[in-house]
Amino acid sequence: MERIERIREFDGWLERYTHDSAVCNCRMTFSVYLPPQAEAAAVPTVYFLSGLTCTDDNVRVKAGAQRYAAELGLALVMPDTSPRGEQVADAPDRYDLGQGAGFYVNAAREPWAAHYRMFDYVNLELPALVERELPVIPGRRSITGHSMGGHGALISALKNPGLYRSVSAFAPICNPVESGWGRGCFAAYLGDDPASWKDWDATELIRAGAEPMPLFIDQGTDDEFLLEGHLRPEALSQACKERGIPLILRMQPDYDHSYHFIATFIGEHLAYHARALTARS
């Protein structure tokens, strides 16, 4: 684990690291914001998973999250969205497949399976590394994300009961097996059997009996990808209703899919996670 950047922000430190990933079989990059409280004691952690075409840089520059993390005493861990490098498979003519579009699944089909194991990276390898090397409280984690990363946050929490204290999402891809984005990537990464894709779909996991967990989602009503049918929050809402799973789904009037939307509500999401992370277990 090599630190390649360190910037003072809100009396804490924004840091960037690279490391050799055994899971993804390549060099990976992630950013961490350590609040001022981390200089005196270990702090809880919120993971933020970014969306299609992004790296770890987008959220740390555009979301305005560090200010709230400093006030709340939360570390922010911001992974990349896929493995990268010359040896890593890619689809350079597509923005929604390959590097920048890992979809937070464990790929089963070549050439993707050699490196694209983002689910295990985000939920196993990266937390173990962060909790070993940085001043964060082991096991005291929550998770959120945007778009493809919102999908990643939801499936990470639903497929790992007890791993996260809370989960939220901004404009997540809620039902990727019925989304053009999801179908295109899942066929490439997972194979031609749509039944196998359901294990990586939040709506389908809930329908199949995933352990109940409160979900908190913000969605803009003027989001172009909502209007094009890529996000499908209504499917997730119906599945939660059928199972009696608590869902806060806030349809925010006039907001789009951009980081302007995320920056508006990131403070409320971090406060939501702070309450869960500081509650007595």
256 in active site: no
Q: Which long-range CB contacts under 8 A does 3-10 form with residues at least 24 apart? A: 4/29, 9/33, 9/66, 9/70, 10/35, 10/36, 10/66, 10/67, 10/69, 10/70
β 12-21/26-34 pair status = antiparallel
* Encoded tokens for 31: 């950013």
Tokens 């009696």: give the residue: 244
Cα–Cα distances in angstroms (integers) from residue 35 to residues 16, 132, 265, in the given order: 14, 17, 19
Active-site choice (179, 223, 269, 273)? 223
Active-site choice (115, 230, 257, 273)? 257
146 in active site: no
Half-sphere exposure in the Cβ direction for 71 (13 Å, CA):
10
Active-site choice (147, 156, 168, 179)? 147
237 in active site: no
Q: What is the SS3 assignment for 40?
A: coil
The residues assigned a catalytic role are 147, 223, 257
